[in-house]
Chain A
Amino acid sequence: MSRESMSAAVDSPMRQAAGFCLACWLSALALAALVWASFAYLKIDFAGVFTAESRGYMAKFVVSFFPPNLSPEFLLKTLKGTVETLAISGVGTLIAALAGLALALPASNRYGPAFKEVTRFFLNVLRSVPELVWAVLMVLAAGLGPFAGTLALALHTTGVLGRLFAETLENAPPEPADALTDMGAGASAAFVYGTLPNVMPQLVAYSLYRWEMNIRMAAILGFVGAGGLGQLLYFHLSIFQQAEAATVILAMLILVVLVDGASSYLRRGFVRAGA
């Protein structure tokens, strides 16, 4: 190799780095145009946000939430709402975990491709309708209150957990269950002795994680009349009782922090026991 070609080989990456990248520039330009178009379309008046007048309004609005209403009667009302939200998320997630497991069996191809495709489609439908939309539908179908919220959470979460469970079952090693059917065990017995012990930690972890998400969702579902803290918050906000609203928001915050902590503690405990 001549000295000339060697030097060319050495600095060719540098030349590449310094080179003009048309695609990069075009992408950046397109992105900038998109951002500008979005602002123009939404007609957001950012200048207005920072005027002294709006700063004053904002301060007044924030101050109006303080102090929160901590009277015993209202605290009791908030506690009832908190328990209701907790119950909605808990029951909704439990129903979804059971229904999800039942649907995951056909969806993981245990009963042939026809059943698999049909259940996968059904799970997709359940999953692609958001909780809030389910809640509106359930309020119409089952009336105002926590029952509608529970159904809404259960329906959407069944779609999510069913899909996750099905994939977990498909990835589970088949040998333990096969060994049991080889010695005359029925399909159900082979499943609970051979497959379930292997996938259980994963199924429980998925369910706990969805419970965490559902507690936040259950707090919001009340806005469409599906019970719990959200319904309380919506009621007091709509009649401009910010002090009461502040108490409810505080309760939501505490509830979410507690549930996140409990869920991760449970998950860690389960994984450690599984190690």
Chain B
Amino acid sequence: MRPAMSFELDHVGLAHANGHRALTGVSLSAGKGERIAIIGPSGAGKTSLIRLIAASLRPTEGRLATLGASPWQLGAGELKALRARIGVIHQSPPIPPRLRVVTAVLAGRLGQWPLWKALASLVYPGDIAGAHAVLAKLDLADRLFDRCDRLSGGQLQRVGVARVLYQKPDLVLADEPVSAMDPALADHAINQLIADATERGATLVASLHAVDLALKWFPRIVGVKAGQIVFDLPPVKIDDVLLRDLYSSEGSILPTQGNEPLTHDLAPGAAEIKRPLCA
């Protein structure tokens, strides 16, 4: 693995214990600081791909390296240290409903904090200012001391995003991070993730259901279908035919934010202005 690589998958496959095959022969790599969107129909293997890169699922075949290490050959302590540098945003954030927002956000640093600090922070939040700062970026600062079960699905997703912003990992993996937000908020949240990754030189990989969001913000789009990568292109190279083929199993309508038609956007000329060019 080259030193500037953030992660590298070499013919990686994943079959679940129940025999269901989630991914087959996936080769994908990203340099440090890259921003990649993964798109594809539901059940294509986007979540499995993200969990593999996150060293959360172990591949059944192929080679995999994340942040310069092969996670499944590391000892327990080294694996823990590696995972502390990886931040995962879940589609439905697995946060205990009784936890306060401030505690849920501060949990982002549990990988760095010694146990005594983690325990003390449960009694009195250790870094209220830090939690406030990241929540303010997502317009959620006023909910700092609310309990998480008082939040809507979209607000809880923003808490999940805030947790990873607070963690400051070298590799941010987001699995449908904005699926429960309205279009304006989703746009804002993605903007914040990208700004944070750019500022710190971190790598960002996000699976997105809304194709327009992916095309607007990401210079590299990876299409996944039936457990395989079908294309890996800059947005300018992606056309209607590619997308219709990718989503052929979901009917004729491409998934976008608010279900607005995407087709007129893809007309040559009009679309290119909106999309960033591949660096």
Q: State which of B24-32, B79-87, B191-199, B208-216 sits at the interface with chain A.
A: B79-87
Contact B119–A200 (Cβ < 8 Å): no
Contact A184 B96, CB 8 Å, known A179-B90, A193-B122: no
CB distance from B166 to the nearest CB of A (A): 11
Contact A176–B111 (Cβ < 8 Å): no
Contact B119–A181 (Cβ < 8 Å): no
Contact A173 B87, CB 8 Å, known A182-B56, A189-B115: no
Contact B167–A183 (Cβ < 8 Å): yes
Contact A184 B98, CB 8 Å, known A189-B113, A189-B118, A193-B118: no
Chain B contact surface mostly: loop
Which single member of B87, B93, B98, B115 contacts A183 (CB below 8 Å)?
A: B87
| Interfacial chain A residues near B84, Cβ < 8 Å | 183-184
CA distance in complex: A57, B39 (Å): 89
CA distance in complex: A173, B96 (Å): 9
Contact A182–B83 (Cβ < 8 Å): yes
CB distance from B214 to the nearest CB of A (A): 24
CB distance from B66 to the nearest CB of A (A): 12
Contact A184–B81 (Cβ < 8 Å): yes
| Interfacial chain A residues near B94, Cβ < 8 Å | 173, 175-176, 178-179, 194
Contact A184–B85 (Cβ < 8 Å): yes
CB distance from A230 to the nearest CB of B (A): 39
Contact B115–A180 (Cβ < 8 Å): no
Contact A198 B98, CB 8 Å, known A182-B54, A183-B167, A186-B115: yes
CA distance in complex: A274, B100 (Å): 12
Chain B residue, CB-CB nearest to A177 = B94
Chain A residue, CB-CB nearest to B108 = A183
Contact B88–A183 (Cβ < 8 Å): yes
Contact A183 B96, CB 8 Å, known A189-B118, A192-B122: no
CB distance from A193 to the nearest CB of B (A): 5
Candidate in A178, A184, A186, A195 with the most chain B CB atoms within 10 angstroms: A184
Within 8 Å of chain B (Cβ to Cβ): is A103? no
Chain B residue, CB-CB nearest to A198 = B96
Within 8 Å of chain A (Cβ to Cβ): is B133? no
Within 8 Å of chain A (Cβ to Cβ): is B22? no
Within 8 Å of chain A (Cβ to Cβ): is B1? no
Within 8 Å of chain B (Cβ to Cβ): is A114? no
Within 8 Å of chain A (Cβ to Cβ): is B138? no
Within 8 Å of chain A (Cβ to Cβ): is B157? no
- Tally of A-B Cβ pairs under 8 angstroms: 78
Contact A183–B95 (Cβ < 8 Å): no
Within 8 Å of chain A (Cβ to Cβ): is B107? yes
CA distance in complex: A178, B88 (Å): 11
CB distance from B93 to the nearest CB of A (A): 8
CB distance from A110 to the nearest CB of B (A): 15
Within 8 Å of chain B (Cβ to Cβ): is A140? no
A 41-83 to B, binary, CB cutoff 8 A, 1 in contact else 0: 0000000000000000000000000000000000000000000
Q: Which of A77-107 contact B (CB under 8 A)?
A: none
Within 8 Å of chain A (Cβ to Cβ): is B15? no
Which single member of A176, A189, A190, A200 contacts B95 (CB below 8 Å)?
A: A176
Q: Which of B119-136 contact A (CB under 8 A)?
A: 119, 122
| Interfacial chain A residues near B169, Cβ < 8 Å | 183
Within 8 Å of chain B (Cβ to Cβ): is A188? yes
| Interfacial chain B residues near A182, Cβ < 8 Å | 54-56, 83, 86, 88
Q: Which of A185-236 contact B (CB under 8 A)?
A: 185-186, 188-190, 192-195, 197-198, 200-201
CB distance from B57 to the nearest CB of A (A): 10
CB distance from B113 to the nearest CB of A (A): 7
CA distance in complex: A173, B95 (Å): 10
Within 8 Å of chain A (Cβ to Cβ): is B103? yes
Within 8 Å of chain A (Cβ to Cβ): is B110? yes
| Interfacial chain B residues near A194, Cβ < 8 Å | 94, 96
3 smallest CB-CB distances across A and B, nearest first, come from A184-B111, A184-B84, A185-B110
**Other CB < 8 Å A-B pairs besides A183-B87, A189-B118, A193-B107, 9 of them?**
A182-B86, A183-B88, A183-B169, A184-B112, A185-B110, A189-B113, A189-B115, A193-B99, A200-B98
What are 9 contact pairs spanning A and B, CB under 8 A? A176-B94, A179-B94, A182-B54, A183-B111, A186-B80, A189-B119, A190-B110, A192-B118, A197-B96
